[in-house]
Amino acid sequence: MLYIVGLGLGDEMDITVKGLAAVQSCARVYLEAYTSVLTVPKERLEKLYGRQVLIADREMVESDLNAILDQADIVNVAFLVVGDPYGATTHTDLVLRAKELNIPVTSIHNASIMNAVGCCGLQLYNYGQTISIVFFLDNWRPDSFYDKIRANRAIKLHTLCLLDIKVKEQSIENMARGRKIYEPPRFMTVNQAIEQLLEIEEKRDENVYSKHTIGVGLSRVGASDQKIVAGTLEELLDVDFGEPLHSLVLAGEMHFLEADILRTYAVNVDTFNKYAIVSEH
Task: Please give the annotated binding residues, written as ranges.
Answer: 9, 84, 87, 112-113, 163, 221, 246
Encoded amino acid at 73, one letter: D
Is the four-CA dihedral 134, 139, 143, 144 of positive or negative sign?
A: negative
Q: Which of 139, 244, 144 is nearest to 191 (CA)?
A: 244
Buried b (16+ CB within 10 A) or exposed e, 49-60: bebebbebeeeb
List, as residue ranges, the binding site for S-adenosyl-L-methionine.
9, 84, 87, 112-113, 163, 221, 246
Question: Measuring CA to CA, how many Å separate 63 from each of 58, 137, 190, 278?
Answer: 8, 26, 32, 48
Contacts of 181 (CB under 8 A, 6+ apart): 170, 171, 174
Q: In 101-154, at which residue ranges do the beta strands (DSSP E only) sit?
A: 105-108, 131-133
C-beta of residue 68 within 8 angstroms of C-beta of residue 198 = no
Give the separation between CA 72 and CA 26, rounded to whole angstroms: 10
